[in-house]
Amino acid sequence: MRRIVILTLVGCAGMATAATAQDEDEWYIETTVGAAWSATMDQQGHNSDHICYPTYVCSSSNGYRWSYTVDAERATSFGVAVGYAWQTVSVDVSASEHTANLTQEFRTITNLDGAPVEVLETSDYANPTLNMVGAFTNRTFAVNATYRIGSGTIRPYVGAGIGVSMLKVGDSFFQSQYYCLQELCELADLSTYNVRQTGDMTDTVFSQRVFVGLDRAFRDGLLISLRLTGGHAGGLEYEGPYDEHPVPHLTSTSEFGNINHLTLSLRLRYLLGR
């Protein structure tokens, strides 16, 4: 009986030590790793191209608009932070990043004023096009505040953060070419209608996040947490030149919207005062 009492007291003392792993004001560092899922993004683009191409019904348009649906694969997310904790409240600055491969699906093309682009029902010309994007990278620097609820070895918490996100859609590629389908076509040099545009699209925007999680306190100032984060970043907007185009020095503008993601991560926090 005495042995059981002693073991019980020792166990309670161990739990008390773990429970007080962050009951004092002190600095901490932390790292996170997890999986990130991105929402389907909406890509819109436009230019001031006035050319009437061989497969189009000519109009008085002074430009074109186009749209794509962009899906992202699941990504791996990494992050680090340094902050200060006041018992139940903590504030930190963090840096995080996730990169996801993208797939792009063409939706529509219209004139700049929104009128439909009319394509010739029969034409002596073929117009194969190729468009693709590589990977989407979201690199975020944020200030976060966390409120821990209750006491004990397992403690729920909620928090929010604001910051800036450096966004990049890498390896963007678009190519449009024209070929004659007959032995002889009216237009002799179709290469003057070829269009090609490559490069990375980048932007820096404001971003926000909210998160919830569960902390498990251990001895020696270590806390392990499972955290669910929802993040939103402002739309990416990028203006870039064409590598090849009938109109010299022409540029196009691309916009990516609905940049939202959900991250499930494991967080390790170490209290520096221990």
Q: At 24, is the pLDDT very low, low, confident or very high (cuts 50, 70, 90)?
A: low
- Using CA atoms in the order 43, 47, 53, 57, what is the torsion angle rounded to 10 degrees? 80
Question: Which residues are bridge partners to 223 per DSSP?
Answer: 217, 269
Residue range 93-113, pLDDT digits in tens: 999 999 999 999 999 999 998
What are 243-261's pLDDT values in tens digits? 999 999 999 999 999 999 9
State the Cα–Cα distance between residues 213 and 225, nearest whole angstrom.
7
Do 95 and 140 form a contact (C-beta atoms < 8 A)? yes
- Helix, strand, or coil (residue 19): helix
pLDDT score at 163: 98
Total of domains in the chain: 1
Cα–Cα distance for residue pair 227/156, rounded to 1 Å: 10
Cα separation, 157 vs 171, in Å, equals 39
Q: What is the 3-state secondary structure (H, E, C) of 98-167?
A: EEEEEEEEEEEEEECCCCECCECCCCCEECCEEEECCEEEEEEEEEEEEEECCCCCEEEEEEEEEEEEEE
Predicted confidence band at 9 (pLDDT cuts at 50, 70, 90)? Answer: very low
Domain containing residue 80 = 2-271
**Residue 241 predicted with pLDDT over 60:** yes
Q: Phi and psi (nearest 5°) for 7?
A: -65, -40
Residue 187, domain CATH? 2.40.160.20
Q: Which residues pair with 35 in a beta bridge?
A: 76, 264
